Chain A
Amino acid sequence: MTLTKPCKILIVPIYPVDLELVLTLPSQLREIFKCDVLLDNTNHLNLLSAYDSSREQFNSTKIISILLEKFKNFNGKVLGVISIDLFIPVLTYVFGEAQLKGKVSIVSTFRLNEITYGFPENKKLTAERLLKEAVHELGHNFGLLHCENYLCVMHSSTSVEEVDIKTASFCDECYKKLFGQISTEFNDHHNGE
């Protein structure tokens, strides 16, 4: 399935972040989502309001609000990438968060990195995990829910082991839903123009 003019994805590296990891994303996301993938170079966001000193973590929901405000005029999806530990209030941590059928998502490399678990750094593995989580959160932005197929990228993962099991691809069912969604969004944008 190909699209004549797909919608855009903007990757926003948020300091502190491992840029080397971020740079692995654009070409792969372009191939997976078959759309334009841009890299933001403003690289400055004030995250103070998202920091919880008692937990020493950043509230991902609040970072999403900051991104939403900053890129309110951008016509596409916005994916923030960061290397610090994220949480949502009721959970101890999250790998990332996305607005379901919304505009913004965020992923953290913190718990995808082997160093967090006391192992030597493995950049290749972290990059693979980051790609899977980035595709997963963007999938939510495009309206996909969690999938029961454990190989599908939309399968819910609450541990890195589960992230490692799944692939970076969509199962047939999610693929069909996704490209229906991208197509609809593209048409909506066109009709609005």
Chain B
Amino acid sequence: MTHKFSILVVDDEFIVRDSLSKWFTQDGYKVGVAENAAQALKLMNEGPWDIIFIDIKMPGMDGLELQKRIKEIDPNAIIIIITAFASVDSAVQALKEGAYDYITKPVDPDYLSHLVKNALKQKKLTDENIKLREHVSELVMGEELIGESPQIKKVIELAKTVAPTNTTVMIRGESGTGKELVARLIHAHSPRRYFPFISVNCGAVPDTLLESELFGHEKGAFTDALYRRKGKFELADGGTIFLDEVGTISLKMQIQLLRVLETKQFTRIGGNEIITSDFRVICATNSDLEQAVKEGRFREDLYYRLNVFTIFIPPLRERRSDIPLIAKYYLEKYATMMHKPITEISPEAMDILIRYDWPGNVRELKNAIERAMVLAKPPAIRPQDLPIQLIEEEQPENETLEAVEKAHILKILNKTNWNITQSAKILGIDRVTLYNKIEKYNLKRNRVA
């Protein structure tokens, strides 16, 4: 069990190196010895060492200096100072500079045994903690922003630049562009990443409930308030609160929100206790806030409070080069989830994906791939599996009235998904006339994917 741990003994006295080395070897540790600081620093390349015993008095670089150098190389190394009674003061100095403990020669074997066991226990906990933190970071990252286009790279760069600060961020972009993903990216790269990321969709919660959702309520604050409930601002303490669709909140709530953003203090509904919470605000909107301010629907002071640093996410149609990457990402994801051996998207289907305008952006593309995966037969997604319609702008074959009429009728038919009644109405002709024209021009429903 103890084989995985390693101990380095740095002492100029052979007898100390030798006896400690034998002692720890019998305990099953990997043991290294160095007779001076230079040798020890060289051995650091063979590490990491879990525990490093350093003699405080050595010719050349002394133990205190060596401790500093080692901490620069491996801040997590556990250092135990070896000292004689005469240099206990230096040992105390070493403790102040981060040594785990010190032993005075000769040391009680029982004490040494417990010291090493405790040090390793701490080391194990520290290592576990580091691993967990890394794991948490991975979890916080969740789904990633996919793309290689300059536009999305710029978004990621901006998000990472603003992340370490406490600045309020406003994320703008059409629905489905991944505003929450950008917010999570900012949180994941901020010092707040070990604390909660709380997401509130302001547009999805009725105004009456939003107040309780954000600030919480005390038991009995209103008819259905049977229990006390913490609000999102309180839950986001130490972390980040993401206010999605912030443009939809009422003027009354805007005043309350402004107050909380400025003071970081609030009370739960029906309560008197003032709650202080340390949160960072990231908000998102796809509405024209500037217009809303002009029209008096959105408070100007709140607008300036929120609009400190803006990140604009371009719609998918403006970064078509990312479509194959995103499509393949979701293809692999759903293939694993659905246990379907579908490994590719046919070139024809990919062509449609790239040329489609994606008004619902990445969310729509994701849903399209999911649906196609259900219908598709291995090994590939084909055009007929896609739930989207690609409407071609039919160009007249020439400038004659007949050619222009043919192209226009086809365009309207495609637009209405070949709904004859609707098309006839748009064209201002009756259904029979339309059927005749379809027959005359030999029109076929051929580009519906």
Contacts and interface: CB of A to CB of B under 8 A. Distances in A.
B28 A158 contact: no
Contacts of B199: none
Nearest to A161: B110
Contact of A87 (B2, B13, B106, B112): B106
Given A89-B16, A90-B20, A91-B23, A148 B2 contact: yes
Interface in A93-147: 93-94, 97-98, 100, 140, 145-146
Nearest to A87: B106
A92 B28 contact: no
Interface in A46-71: 55, 61
A159 interface: yes
A88 B18 CA distance: 10
A159 B113 CA distance: 11
A183 interface: no
Interface residues of A, number: 20
Given A146-B28, A148-B1, A148-B2, A88 B23 contact: yes
Interface secondary structure of A, over-half rule = loop
Contacts of B82: 90
Contacts of A146: 2, 26-28
B109 A93 contact: yes
Given A88-B19, A158-B113, A145 B106 contact: no
B25 interface: yes
A156 interface: yes
A11 to B, nearest CB: 21
A145 B19 contact: no
A100 B26 contact: yes
A109 to B, nearest CB: 17
Contacts of B27: 145-146, 156
Interface of B is mostly: helix
Interface string B8-35: 0000010110111011011110000000
A145 B109 contact: no
Contact of A92 (B26, B109, B113): B109
B353 to A, nearest CB: 59
Interface string A152-179: 0000101100000000000000000000
A89 B15 contact: yes
Given A140-B26, A145-B27, A92 B15 contact: no
B108 interface: yes
A91 B105 CA distance: 7
B25 A100 contact: yes
Contacts of A94: 109
A159 B114 CA distance: 12
A181 B110 CA distance: 29
Nearest to B28: A145
Contacts of A92: 106-109
Contacts of B28: 145-146
Contacts of B105: 89-90
A91 B109 contact: yes
B27 to A, nearest CB: 5
Interface in B146-167: none
- Which of A140, A146, A159 has the largest number of chain B CB atoms within 10 A? A146
Highest count of chain B CB atoms <10 Å: which of A55, A140, A148, A158: A158
A151 to B, nearest CB: 15
A94 B107 CA distance: 11
A90 B16 contact: yes
A55 B25 CA distance: 25
A148 B117 CA distance: 12
A145 B105 CA distance: 25
Contacts of A156: 26-27, 113
A90 B107 contact: yes
Given A89-B16, A146-B27, 20 more contacts: A61-B15, A89-B13, A89-B15, A89-B105, A90-B20, A90-B23, A90-B82, A90-B105, A91-B23, A91-B109, A93-B108, A93-B109, A97-B22, A100-B26, A146-B26, A148-B2, A156-B113, A158-B108, A158-B109, A158-B113
14 contacts: A61-B18, A88-B19, A88-B22, A88-B23, A90-B15, A90-B16, A90-B106, A90-B107, A92-B109, A98-B26, A100-B26, A145-B25, A146-B26, A158-B108
Across the A-B interface, the 7 shortest Cβ-Cβ residue pairs: A158-B110, A88-B19, A145-B28, A158-B109, A89-B15, A91-B109, A92-B106
Interface of B: 1-2, 13, 15-16, 18-20, 22-23, 25-28, 82, 105-110, 112-113
